[in-house]
A and B are shown apart, each in its own frame.
Chain A
Amino acid sequence: MKWFTAWRRRPWAGYAVVLAALAIIGVAYAGVSSGADRAQASDTKASAQDVAKGKELFNQQCSSCHGANAQGTRNAPSLIGVGAASVDFQVSTGRMPAANYTGAQIPRKKRTLNDEQTRQLAAYIASLGGGPPVPSGDQVDPANGDSALGGKLFRANCAQCHNFAGSGGALTGGKYAPPLDKATPTQIYEAMLTGPQAMPVFNDTTVTPAQKRAIIAYVTQTRTEPNPGGSGLGRIGPVAEGLAGWLFGIGLMVVAAMWLTARKPSKKTRND
């Protein structure tokens, strides 16, 4: 430990420790935020051919967990009656096929099935027992939505979990409400309609399709809002701002104070 004691006594050791701590925190923060893919669903008429191809895909990709006839097993729920909207949401966000994921909840990831395959799979599941269809392009067009109304509804019913700017948040037992920055308008609509995982359901008779479109308009417009105060810090509110202020602001002030009060290195008194 002698080398450490010697190192510790160097004049720059204090600065090095503070700066290293700041750097570690910065890297850790950068590691938390990660990127993912983007997906867009299409909606066209389901033909018998699509259903047949979808069944084939289902047998290959899904049946090991959801059962040979989508009736559900111990590991996965029944898919009868969940509808095309649910399939499109789960597959286009890459959540399904989940491939033996063992966390608190299944995360958004790079999708493995393309638009065509997703449509076929959705057609097959819809043929088993109906359920909500994939919304049309007009139903989810943010340009036609009333974002002021959407903001009201979002703050009353969505913001508690997804944050006022759609940045997501923590739930119980390791579950979380995902950030909405990568969700497409179609996926937002489908999520409200079907309630994936822990999310509650907002059916069309409670929150009408026009109101859903308003919420989509609010969510998508919020992404493009400028941050007049500088960095948005993930828009997760005063916690991030306080953390940045305390760690970085006060860290820099500590370094400055150390520099101000440091003894002037003088060679003149070295003769003792």
Chain B
Amino acid sequence: MTDNNENSDAPLDEEGRVPKRVIGTPPPVGTQELLPRKEPGEGSSGYVLDEKKARSAERVAAAFFTLTFLAGIAFIVFYAVWPGHVGNIHRAARSNYTLGTALTLVFVGLAVGMTIWVRHLVTTKEIVQERHAISSTPEDRETFNKYFQEGTQESGLIQRRLLRRTLLLAAAPLGLLPLVLLRDLGPLPEKKLRHTAWKNGTRLVVDGTGQPLKAADFNSPGGIITVVPEGAENDLDEIATAAVLLLNLPVDKLKIKKGRENWNVGGIVAYSKICTHVGCPAALYEQTTHHILCPCHQSTFDALNSAKVIFGPAARPLPQLPISVDSEGYLIATSDFKEPVGPSFWERGRPKA
């Protein structure tokens, strides 16, 4: 490459043209060309239209423009005759269909008509536009270099070593300042991620009906139900973290973890319904395998074994809620979850955050 910017230095072919090349395709070396090269329009006379074909193309394009006109009128008529905002949902559906179809025809007619116009009726001659090197002239570069050298010499930045180093030192913390400020972007989540509405004595009520549940009533093997804390059954913010999947598991197959001996009521166990991966509701319980599947990323938990992860991207078992029965036989929680529910967050492992 030279710095000559007066003329492009790309090799000219035998006909005096710069070879055309599409970005991303290999250069046309020798005979290895992806497409057979077409000659540009004959000399500079442009493409000569076949008048008969042009006439029919004109008619087709005109027909599409007429379609656009009619569809535009139809849109206004449909809007006036069948407005979607009165009547029931069926009328709204019909309004959507008619208006959508009319508007589609408007734009399709316009687009197809214009494309036919451009492809069959516009006579353009192909031209070659030469590209030039982007770099500055050698004189400009030379001058810039000279001025720059002179400037650095005159400022004394090269000789005054102390000055130079303290300037760099002064600039260093400046780059760190935004990082420090990041800390105060918005309030911290406080302890909301660590606690739910469950506490000792809170009854388990059925999500949707709010009825408390007796252990004796939830007695069918292989049963499940979604429960929420009593008193928060209509508070969606609380349910978002406190939703619990209650399962009736075969007590003889249950592998109870040490320290969790009193967390189940005769095989009835309660796991957080919120997947520990990214927080989807993990509730696809199969009573044949006792697996709980999360539909989002196929994390699978073994309900018999403290909801241990047996497949998928979840990092931790589903937190288990310690449950018991009160004096009237209703299922209650005996405490909050012993660990934060749901997905990981930065300070999760910090003991007293």
Which A positions have Cβ atoms within 8 angstroms of B? Answer: 149, 152-153, 155-157, 160-161, 169, 171-173, 175, 177, 195, 197-203, 205-207, 211, 226-230, 259-260, 263-264, 266, 268-269, 272
Please pick, from A149, A171, A205, A263, the residue contacting B209 in the complex, using a CB distance under 8 A.
A149
Please pick, from B90, B225, B248, the residue contacting A207 in the complex, using a CB distance under 8 A.
B225
Is the pair B220, A203 in contact by a Cβ cutoff of 8 Å? yes
Residues of B within 8 A of A259 (CB): 115
> What is the CA–CA distance of A77 and B318 in the complex, to the nearest angstrom?
31
Residues of A within 8 A of B217 (CB): 203, 205-206
- Closest A residue to B285 by beta carbon equals A200
The 7 closest A-B pairs by CB, nearest first: A205-B217, A152-B208, A198-B286, A203-B220, A228-B93, A200-B224, A160-B283
Please pick, from A177, A206, A268, the residue contacting B225 in the complex, using a CB distance under 8 A.
A206
> What is the CA–CA distance of A229 and B97 in the complex, to the nearest angstrom?
8
Taking A153-B206, A160-B295, A230-B96 as given, write out 19 further A-B residue pairs in contact, using a Cβ cutoff of 8 Å, ordered by the A residue number: A160-B284, A172-B293, A172-B300, A173-B289, A195-B222, A198-B288, A198-B289, A200-B286, A201-B221, A201-B223, A202-B220, A205-B216, A206-B206, A206-B223, A206-B225, A207-B206, A228-B96, A268-B42, A269-B39
- Closest B residue to A263 by beta carbon equals B38
Please, how many residues of chain B have a CB less than 8 angstroms from a CB on the other chain?
47
Residues of B within 8 A of A206 (CB): 206, 213, 217-218, 220, 223, 225
- Closest A residue to B288 by beta carbon equals A198
Interface: B305 (CB within 8 A): no
CB distance from A76 to the nearest CB of B (A): 13
CB distance from B82 to the nearest CB of A (A): 14
- Closest A residue to B96 by beta carbon equals A228
Residues of A within 8 A of B289 (CB): 172-173, 198
Residues of B within 8 A of A195 (CB): 220, 222-223, 287
Residues of B within 8 A of A173 (CB): 289
- Closest B residue to A205 by beta carbon equals B217
CB distance from B314 to the nearest CB of A (A): 14
Interface: B48 (CB within 8 A): yes
- Closest B residue to A203 by beta carbon equals B220
- Closest A residue to B247 by beta carbon equals A200
> What is the CA–CA distance of A160 and B224 in the complex, to the nearest angstrom?
12
Interface: B281 (CB within 8 A): yes
The proximity string for B residues 198-241 relative to A, scoring 1 for CB distances below 8 Å and 0 otherwise, is 00000000111100011011111111111000000000000000
Which residues of chain B in 37-75 are interfacial with respect to chain A, using CB atoms and an 8 Å cutoff? 38-39, 42, 47-48
- Closest B residue to A157 by beta carbon equals B226
- Closest A residue to B311 by beta carbon equals A172
CB distance from B348 to the nearest CB of A (A): 26
Most B C-beta atoms less than 10 A away, residue of A149, A156, A157 = A156
CB distance from B23 to the nearest CB of A (A): 14
CB distance from A265 to the nearest CB of B (A): 10
Residues of A within 8 A of B277 (CB): none
Is the pair A228, B92 in contact by a Cβ cutoff of 8 Å? yes
CB distance from B116 to the nearest CB of A (A): 11
Residues of A within 8 A of B220 (CB): 195, 201-203, 206
Is the pair B295, A200 in contact by a Cβ cutoff of 8 Å? no
Interface: B182 (CB within 8 A): no
What are 19 A-B pairs with beta-carbon distances under 8 A? A149-B209, A152-B208, A153-B208, A156-B208, A157-B208, A160-B281, A160-B283, A171-B286, A195-B220, A200-B224, A200-B286, A202-B220, A206-B206, A206-B217, A206-B225, A228-B89, A264-B119, A268-B48, A269-B42
Is the pair A260, B115 in contact by a Cβ cutoff of 8 Å? yes
Is the pair A226, B89 in contact by a Cβ cutoff of 8 Å? yes
> What is the CA–CA distance of A177 and B283 in the complex, to the nearest angstrom?
13
Which residues of chain B in 233-280 are interfacial with respect to chain A, using CB atoms and an 8 Å cutoff? 247-248
> What is the CA–CA distance of A155 and B312 in the complex, to the nearest angstrom?
24
